[in-house]
Structure 1
Amino acid sequence: MFVFLLVILVSSVMATTMEPEVEDFKGLVDELDIFSTKNLANNWIEGKYPISRNCESDLSRYVRALKNQELWALKADDATGRYTNGFFWGNSYFLGSATECTYISQDYSKRNQKIQVPSEVEEFNAEPHWRTKSTPIGQNVWEPYTNDKAPYDMGFFTMRISYNSSISPRSRLILLGVCLPNSCTSSDVKFVAKLAASESAAKSTTIQKIKDQHNLYDMYSDPVFWILFGVSSIVFLLMLAGTGYDYYLTRRFQKGKKAIYDPEANPKLDQISNGNHQKVINACHGKVYIPVPVADSIINGSLAVNNNNDHENPVRPPSPETLKLNVYEELLLSFSVRANLRTICDDSVGRDTISTVHGLRAISMVWVILGHTCIVIFKYSDNMEYRKIVEKRFLFQTITNGAFSVDTFFFMGGLLVSFLYFRTNAKGDLRKLTQGRPGFVAGTLKFLGFLAYRFCRLTAPYMFVLGVVEITMKWFHANSVFEPPTADHENCPNYWWRNLLYINTLFPVDQMCMIWSWYVADDTQFYIVGAVMLILATNHFKIAAFSVVTLLVSSWLTTGYIALANNHMPSSDDPLALFDKIYDKPWTRLGPYLIGMSVGYLLFKTDCKIKMSKATVVLGWLLSAMCLLSLLYGLYEAELAPMTAAAYSSLSHSAWALGLSWIVIACSTGYGGYVNKILSAPILYPFSRVTYCAYLVHPIVIRLTAMHADAPMHLGKDTVMITFLGQVVLSYFLSFVISVSFEAPVVSMLKILAPRKRKRIQ
């Protein structure tokens, strides 16, 4: 019997020893339990930890309130971020609600007012801090009790946490928001976070940075804000005065007084007369004048025209009163809102321009806004892995290859610079460009004129928007729960002068202010190169042509070498992967601009009159469509060899410009068909004319959408499309405002102050 019991005992011991130990299951909730008020309440011991006295006292009160389930403490816990779901789907934002945390300390509810509902029945539930009110229509209105207000100010702290664990294939950055007493500092919160983390989370997380709301940005103490305020005030007053004077002159016309003016010397008067009436041309003192008729003639909407055959109603000689604006009056009228809007919304184009460009410019701007919208929304979304799925879809290549939209702008820039230079200055005869001066002197003066006009035209709206970017990004850096997409709050105060000189692309991207302004800098640098080529072409066309070809080939070779050295794969890499080496550098993006200049010269030389056979036209459209579509969608699921990838990176931008070249040439010479009707539609002209301001301001609108939220967006095609459309509308609205305020007045003043113009006026 004893032996039998001994055998049983040994068998049980052996079975127990051989059984594997069953570990407690730990899911993602435990693994990602980075900050838990339950852990904080269990681990908190007052007076034991090295934190500030006020923070310790307030935290002790907070812990007691949590244990007693006081409503304000439960709200603070509710406002604190925690893992919910979607970690493997790209959710790295455990933010909670900064808005809820802010209002815990504020008495925002109307508890002293009773809800006046007929037959209202109040029922108190079992919870000690809540009550419900039932209404006759079946609604339950939840009201907090009077102890829902925190006894002190609460603050929202955003923690940047590095997460490294075996469950994640790579290191992740997690943004966690916590609602704690505002008396705590960042160092206090960092220590408290250790008490609130689970054992698993404490091993796999490292707190990199904590942002509090103690040192909030005060824009009223920023000199940049007051500079913007002062400039805006002056411009606003000038706009009021200019618009008022515009209306005064218009009323003067309508009073019935006869007056004469020189339309060449005073185009503003011609603009005020609105150009809606027939003009009576008379010779007076050897100049051409336009008599302004009596009021009843204006009301009738017509004027008698002196065609030298009407002897019954001869046109009377103009009265001695002559309207002539001095330079100050013309400059004041440059700020007229009505006149500038009329110019922007004019549905006609002059002979010295190419109407197709308006359509290309407007469409490309919308394309740019779409690409930038997706970039920002992807960054601040809680399902970033969804991007990897949509990027594999065929049509998404339109967004992936959105960089070609900028090449369209470069192409149009070179096209217009070349075409307008020859057309407006030469008027068909290149010899007129020298104007009798020595070649070097004439060339130098024209080059300086090019630079002065470009600088004055672009800089006013550019610097104003740059100031707005600096102010807004400083505010977002201090107040937004998200981290800014770029360091404009630091770079703009330090490196704004690089933007002013248009050389910011010659420096590293991490030092760049207003990062999207790289295009403005490159286009200005191309403009300088183009000015040299055009002036050289006046007397030495072959040398200029050889220089253009040399620069074009050099750009191709340089881009190919950089792409090959960095193993850049355009078929799989992010388009912005080599931003600092390929994307924004002028020597890699020069090709489309030079091709545009060549096309502009061709259209000038042929006077937009080229005869082509039907076969040539059909072949041209087919080749152009194949070129553009293959660049957009040709890399779909393609695998390129290193040499092929380098060649693609080198030649693709110029190939895009070649595809556009046919569209412009065909539409300008009468072979555009429906394409020309669409691209030259007058409805697109106003949007095209404010494209520059829309490009400057649209990233601010996109950042406002993302940085003002206290929770990440959830990606979806409908959400993205609705957000994109809203940003297009608001961006263009603001671009019209900035264009009317800064761009249009400067352009008008440049025309008034031009040497030839001043000579005519004097």
Structure 2
Amino acid sequence: MMAVWITILFLTGMISTSSSWPDFDLPDDLPDRIPDRLPDFTLPPDLFKNISISVACDAALARMFSDKRSYEATLALDACGKPEPGFLVGNLAWLGHWPECKSLEDFHFCTTVLRLNMSTGIIPPLMKWGLCLPSECGETDVANSMTEIINRLEYDELNTLNPEVRKVQCATFPARPYDAGFYCTVILCCVTALLMITGALFEVHLDRQKKKKEDTLEDSEALLLLRHDSKQNGYGASKIPGKQQKEDREGCCARFLLCFSFTRNLKQILKTDTKGGNMLCLNGIRVISMTWVILGHTLMLVYQVFGATWDGIFGLDFLKSFPAQAILNAFPSVDSFFVLSGLLLTYITLGRMSRSDGRIPWAMFYFHRYWRLLPGLGAAMLFALYLRPYMGEGPLWANSAHYTFNCDKYWWTNLLYINNFYPKSVPEGCIYWVWYLANDMQFYIISPIFLVSLFRKPVVGMIIIAGLCIASFATTIGLMVVNDFKVALMGFGMSDHNGKDIISTVYDKPYCRITPYLVGIVLGYAFHSWRGKRIRINKIAVVVGWASALTTGLAVVYGLYGEFNGSPLSTAENAIYMAFSHFAWAIALSWVIFACHYGYGGWINDFLSWKAWIPLCRLTYGAYLFHPLIMHIFVGNTAHAYSLNAVYIAYYFTSGCVFSYLVSLLVSLGFELPLANLEGFIM
């Protein structure tokens, strides 16, 4: 009975104010929309009869409100979430007081998520409500009782809101039972750390041994011989024919340990030495693009995924502002990586083909790519599946602690790089943001078609590339028109009546995303053809090129501004934007790369070629894999509603960047570089 009473207490607050709920528009007329008084409200007499809660829960609630337990009942009710200030303008985070509930024995904290049918202009909002209940009252008890009560309440205001219980999650300690996967992951991390330290100590030992032997040698010829032998075996010990086999075994063990030496690998990451002819501007472009990705995901996670904002419609007004468009529309940053991938692949591979008369060991071509991506991807999946659930607590964490990003079901799709096709819905996939890796690997698999044709018959290669671009444009337009998709915010994952959404149908599919990769291939072929040549263009062409690139880039980024401010795009406009925006961004970025590489970039090239970008560039892959996991931990540990404004976004964005790159550094030192070193050692 008391569970019902608690439910009614807060549903009453919601119903009493819903009749004049404002649309999520600019709040100029907000004073006219607030009701003068709360509407009269009575409960049906049979509302509390036959509510589906367990006998144990009902008995626990009875004990909770007995005379002997009045103190606990008071604290439990005090810890429950209540209508917050700003409810009329969209503050739907009734999170309660987590520490107070946690301090009570035989009680646990449950977070209920209600979806409200309100016209926000973007997505129906989710109301988060924290309840402190006896441990005997489980998730099913809360969900069933709330659903039945909502269905029995017949009020126009409530029917307008049409609240739907989406999820109930009760916190446990630990968040998940410690299983074999957790212990194995911890053991793997400990063994890796031990190898890193042992390798570093062994490297110090070898350096000291080498220095000691050099100091004791007085004969210059012996010293030269020793240095010659050092280059042959790498460890400063001359070979004795009678001990050749033993020395080989010791050399293998030594090289294995040195593969994990964190001091050697750290020097590899931090070094900024470059060879002549390198496209140094790519380092800055890569890091800035990764920063843009993190910025866009910060806003998405703070607002969409956790949605415990204090500001309500005022926060949405911030999203509608002109500066916020560069954050909301961060999707072109992904196209930058496709361009860079196609460019580097073509430029490097065609160079190798030129030196080997077109012969490439294609088996190693694929194996090296797979081996390079595997350590970071595997580490991210292990972290999401076995470590992240234990790294937080709180009302928002209680609703996501069991969330393993579906890696327990679909980890194998990532390893096969088919996760952009299976499962059908992107959010259901294992660490869903790695759809990019699937696309990039699929482009890599078919890349020999372009590479061989460009090397043997360049005209045929260009015809194939042009044909694929046209096919991609047509396919994207067709899918957008048939499904009437909206580009703005990619629909926030909303599905149509057939269960289709723009992310899973268009955004992550290789046949809709290949055009920037193809632009990168063409640019890479051009750079290969001009290798060693100086390209001269007049100043007018340079000015026109920069102006065109700037205009095109701004049009792509801010082209959806009207969609958020009363001028929605038509079906045809949405289709055209989706089809050609990726290609247009790739063309604009190609000019930047071309101008910087051939001396027409000025201070922009100086900035993008800054050597400080080089170490960060080596860590962008790990930052890409781990930054959503890091931000899930940050925001998931929030115990109160937060403000959606520029300062808050900047705070979480900065924290997310710093910690993402730090985690990427650890993963690179412990997994990526050691396995890359082992590949060279074995091969």
TM-score band by shorter chain is: 0.7 to 0.9
Contact 1:43-1:195 at 8 Å conserved across structures: no
Within the candidate set 62, 67, 88, 2:64 is matched to 62
Matched, 1:734 2:659: no
Partner Cα separation in structure 1 for residue 465 and residue 514 of structure 2 = 10
Within the candidate set 624, 628, 631, 1:695 is matched to 624
Contact 2:79-2:98 at 8 Å conserved across structures: yes
The structural deviation recorded for 1:326 is 3.8
The structural deviation recorded for 1:89 is 2.6
User: Partner of 2:131: helix, strand, or coil?
Assistant: strand
Opposite residue 643 of structure 2, the aligned amino acid is: H
Contact 1:216-1:479 at 8 Å conserved across structures: no
Cα offsets for 1:485-541 (capped at 9, x unmatched): 799537211111000111100121253111111111111111112234224444344
1:125 matched residue in structure 2: none
Structure 2: give runs of 5+ residues left out of the alignment: 1-10, 19-41, 242-246, 495-501
User: Partner of 1:211: helix, strand, or coil?
Assistant: strand
> Bigger CA drift: 462-471 or 567-576?
567-576
Q: 1:500 to 1:219 in 2, by over 3 A?
A: farther
Matched, 1:330 2:255: yes
2:29 matched residue in structure 1: none
2:99 matched residue in structure 1: 99
Percent of pairs with identical residues: 27
Matched, 1:77 2:77: yes
1:620 matched residue in structure 2: 545
Opposite residue 356 of structure 2, the aligned amino acid is: K
Matched, 1:373 2:309: no
1:138 matched residue in structure 2: none
1:711 matched residue in structure 2: 640
Partner Cα separation in structure 2 for residue 541 and residue 167 of structure 1 = 52
Q: 1:176 to 1:552 in 2, by over 3 A?
A: same
2:516 matched residue in structure 1: 592
Opposite residue 401 of structure 1, the aligned amino acid is: N
User: Partner of 1:706: helix, strand, or coil?
Assistant: helix
1:156 matched residue in structure 2: 109
Contact 1:158-1:481 at 8 Å conserved across structures: yes
The structural deviation recorded for 1:466 is 0.7
Q: How do 1:288-327 and structure 2 match up within 5 A?
A: 326-327=251-252
Opposite residue 98 of structure 1, the aligned amino acid is: W
2:350 matched residue in structure 1: 422
Contact 1:378-1:384 at 8 Å conserved across structures: no
User: Partner of 2:638: helix, strand, or coil?
Assistant: coil
Opposite residue 658 of structure 2, the aligned amino acid is: V
> Bigger CA drift: 168-177 or 489-498?
168-177
Within the candidate set 268, 272, 279, 1:347 is matched to 272
Q: How do 1:95-494 and structure 2 match up within 5 A?
A: 95-105=95-105, 153-163=106-116, 173-189=126-142, 207=165, 209-213=167-171, 217-221=175-179, 223-255=180-212, 257=214, 326-351=251-276, 353-379=278-304, 380-382=307-309, 383-423=311-351, 425-426=352-353, 430=354, 432-434=356-358, 442=359, 446-472=361-387, 481=396, 489=404, 491-494=406-409
**TM-score normalised per structure 2:** 0.80
Cα offsets for 1:573-603 (capped at 9, x unmatched): 6476610111111111111111111111211
Structure 1: give runs of 5+ residues left out of the alignment: 1-25, 34-38, 106-152, 261-279, 293-317, 435-441, 755-762
CA RMSD of aligned residues (A): 4.1
Contact 2:107-2:132 at 8 Å conserved across structures: yes
Within the candidate set 669, 682, 686, 2:611 is matched to 682
Contact 1:377-1:713 at 8 Å conserved across structures: no
Partner Cα separation in structure 2 for residue 252 and residue 541 of structure 1 = 55
The structural deviation recorded for 1:353 is 3.7
The structural deviation recorded for 1:290 is 6.9
User: Partner of 1:255: helix, strand, or coil?
Assistant: helix
Opposite residue 169 of structure 2, the aligned amino acid is: K
Opposite residue 463 of structure 1, the aligned amino acid is: G
The higher radius of gyration belongs to 1
State the structure with bigger RCO (CA 8 A, min sep 6), 1 or 2.
2
> Bigger CA drift: 380-389 or 727-736?
380-389
Opposite residue 515 of structure 1, the aligned amino acid is: Y
Contact 2:111-2:395 at 8 Å conserved across structures: no
Opposite residue 411 of structure 1, the aligned amino acid is: V
1:149 matched residue in structure 2: none
Contact 1:163-1:173 at 8 Å conserved across structures: yes
2:34 matched residue in structure 1: none
Partner Cα separation in structure 1 for residue 122 and residue 649 of structure 2 = 28
User: Partner of 1:180: helix, strand, or coil?
Assistant: strand
Q: 1:480 to 1:246 in 2, by over 3 A?
A: farther
1:511 matched residue in structure 2: 428
Matched, 1:659 2:588: yes
Q: 1:611 to 1:471 in 2, by over 3 A?
A: same
Q: 1:542 to 1:31 in 2, by over 3 A?
A: same
Contact 2:298-2:653 at 8 Å conserved across structures: yes
The structural deviation recorded for 1:94 is 1.9
Cα offsets for 1:69-113 (capped at 9, x unmatched): 9443322111011222333433232221222101133xxxxxxxx
Q: 1:447 to 1:533 in 2, by over 3 A?
A: farther
Opposite residue 389 of structure 1, the aligned amino acid is: D
**TM-score normalised per structure 1:** 0.72
Within the candidate set 552, 555, 562, 1:630 is matched to 555
Cα offsets for 1:344-401 (capped at 9, x unmatched): 1111223474211110011111111110000011122333433431232112121122
Q: 1:155 to 1:343 in 2, by over 3 A?
A: same
Partner Cα separation in structure 2 for residue 563 and residue 50 of structure 1 = 45
Q: 1:236 to 1:320 in 2, by over 3 A?
A: closer
Opposite residue 733 of structure 1, the aligned amino acid is: L
The structural deviation recorded for 1:725 is 0.8
Q: 1:750 to 1:542 in 2, by over 3 A?
A: farther
Within the candidate set 561, 565, 583, 2:478 is matched to 561
Partner Cα separation in structure 2 for residue 52 and residue 411 of structure 1 = 58
Partner Cα separation in structure 1 for residue 391 and residue 200 of structure 2 = 36
Partner Cα separation in structure 2 for residue 395 and residue 95 of structure 1 = 30
Matched, 1:552 2:477: no
User: Partner of 1:505: helix, strand, or coil?
Assistant: coil
Partner Cα separation in structure 2 for residue 709 and residue 552 of structure 1 = 45
Q: 1:543 to 1:285 in 2, by over 3 A?
A: farther
Opposite residue 179 of structure 1, the aligned amino acid is: C
Opposite residue 331 of structure 2, the aligned amino acid is: A
Cα offsets for 1:545-583 (capped at 9, x unmatched): 322222222212211221222233436864766101111
